[in-house]
Amino acid sequence: MKLNATQLKEIEENGYVILPDCFSNEEVNNLRKAMTTIFKEKTEANIIEKSSGVVRTAMGLHLRSKIFDDLTRHPKFFEPACQIRGHNLYIQQTKINVKAAFTGEVWQWHYDFATHFGEDGVPKPLALNLHVFFDKVTEFNGPLFFIPKSHKYGSAPSKLDTVTTNYPLWVVDQQNVKTLVKENGIVSAHGKAGTVVIFVDNLVHGSAQNMSPMDRAIFSVILNPCDNAQTKFARPEYKHGRDFKPIKASSYKSLLI
């Protein structure tokens, strides 16, 4: 799957692009079955919500499951990423972020490069975050909020928040968020299950608590140029992959088997 000129311009200008109807219902159903198995595993790579005790994030999925390894390398992710960043890409991270009905907790305002630089020593904000919705995402069940064009301001000041949730996160302070929103507004990324979202490493984003009765699960793979790999190795491999060889695309049919 290749992005057209309008889509490439959108991610360059706004920092993100939303692509509906990329994965079929059958593919999403197969992925959700695999997710259920992954979530039952007793492992530190499954991170638990602070309040509810349910899984908030399951990480290192390409190391734990063939179907998620195939999804990570799927042409619908791999080909657009190559258009934007070239063919020499490695798997930096894979995960599923869940906002469980009624209890799904907040993700504070942040941008991914703050963590990649601060924790992993990644030199430049060149990684791409590629998502696929496993549920219908609406304005009610905890969609991602993006501040368009915020990547064009460079890396906003950030600090490590270890208190708000059980996942430490480098967050952007409220005054900077207020300034960015005043200039560029906020958009929410929503769509049917199977929708793909691609965004750049220093785009400011976050998501609110899920107060609705509808679950929200989103798969994420971060692909990074091999010559931009991490230089610090404090975090475990399930949080930042250590195989820096360029990946190749998987089969279009791999998610239907």
- pLDDT level of residue 257 (50, 70, 90 thresholds): low
**Is residue 175 in some structural domain?**
yes
**Is residue 188 in some structural domain?**
yes
Predicted pLDDT at 163: 66
Strand, coil or helix: 189: strand
Look up the pTM and report it. Answer: 0.93
**Is residue 240 in some structural domain?**
no
Q: Which two tokens stand for residue 182?
A: 């005043």
Q: What are phi and psi of 151, to 5 degrees?
A: -70, -20
Task: Please tell me the distance from the alpha carbon of residue 205 to that of residue 199, in angstroms, as a whole number.
Answer: 10
Strand, coil or helix: 45: coil
Q: Tens digit of pLDDT for each residue in 208-243?
A: 888 999 999 999 999 999 999 999 999 999 999 999
Whole domain around residue 186: which residue ranges? 5-225
Predicted pLDDT at 215: 92
Domain count, the chain: 1
**Is residue 40 in some structural domain?**
yes
The mean pLDDT value for 241-257 works out to 86
**Is residue 242 in some structural domain?**
no
Q: Tens digit of pLDDT for each residue in 8-58?
A: 999 999 999 999 999 999 999 999 999 999 999 999 999 887 766 778 899
**Is residue 236 in some structural domain?**
no
**Is residue 120 in some structural domain?**
yes
Task: Please tell me the distance from the alpha carbon of residue 127 to that of residue 222, in angstroms, as a whole number.
Answer: 6
**Is residue 253 in some structural domain?**
no
Q: What is the CATH number of the domain that holds 181?
A: 2.60.120.620
